Amino acid sequence: MVIGLVGTPFANYFEAFIHPPGEEAISEFPPLEIPAEFEWTEFLVMGGSSVGIALIGITLASLMYLSFKIDPGAIAKTIQPLYKLSLNKWYIDDIYNAVFVKGSRRLARQVLEVDVRIVDGIVNLAGFVTLITGEGLKYLENGRAQFYALIVFGAVLGLVLISGIT
């Protein structure tokens, strides 16, 4: 109810009251003078038009629903497209659902696919490679020096053959 007091140029006690806790307070009681650069015409046009629109709305609502001098059904029939648009809340909920809710779900499904196929695939592949190499190496690690010399000889022979081919 008092949010309109934010930004008023004169005696702004409300703005001094709600200042952020980490900052210096504007002052306990702002001065009652109006700044020289304040334009009354803009203030009166903006404030007067918003108060006027509110008063027109209150008057129309009281004529329609308190004294029943105006029939809201007849107005609804006269401006049917605008009435349907207003009745369906300007379709904001439908637009929000189509754009943000369904769009977020679609994006989440795509991210899940990437996670399941790529990220989990890499992690599972690393685990599988570790398991296979561990299983293969357990047969090579038998503690015999002659067998290790044979493996070194085979590796050197393989390198010589590969370097000779290229």
The tens digit of pLDDT for each residue in 27-36 reads 555 555 666 7
* Residues 6 or more apart in contact with residue 34 via CB below 8 angstroms: 9, 10
Say which DSSP state 28 is in: S
- Say if residues 16 and 27 touch (Cβ distance below 8 Å): yes
The tens digit of pLDDT for each residue in 140-160 reads 787 888 988 998 999 999 999
- 94 phi and psi angles, rounded to 5 deg: -65, -40
Q: Using alpha carbons only, how large is the chain's radius of gyration in Å?
A: 39
Provide the mean pLDDT of the chain. 86
* Residues 6 or more apart in contact with residue 126 via CB below 8 angstroms: none
Per-residue pLDDT at 164: 87
Per-residue pLDDT at 85: 94
Cα-to-chain-centroid distance, residue 100:
10
Per-residue pLDDT at 147: 87
Q: How confident is the model at residue 90 (pLDDT cuts 50, 70, 90)?
A: very high
The tens digit of pLDDT for each residue in 61-72 reads 999 999 999 999
Per-residue pLDDT at 118: 95
DSSP codes, 56-68: HHHHHHHHHHTS-
Q: How far is CA 28 from CA 5, 15, 33, 110, in A?
A: 16, 10, 15, 55
Per-residue pLDDT at 36: 72
- Say if residues 13 and 29 touch (Cβ distance below 8 Å): yes
Q: How confident is the model at residue 126 (pLDDT cuts 50, 70, 90)?
A: very high
Q: How confident is the model at residue 44 (pLDDT cuts 50, 70, 90)?
A: confident
The tens digit of pLDDT for each residue in 102-122 reads 999 999 999 999 999 999 999
Question: For residues 16 and 27, what is the distance between their CA atoms, to the nearest angstrom?
Answer: 6
**Strand, coil or helix: 49:** helix
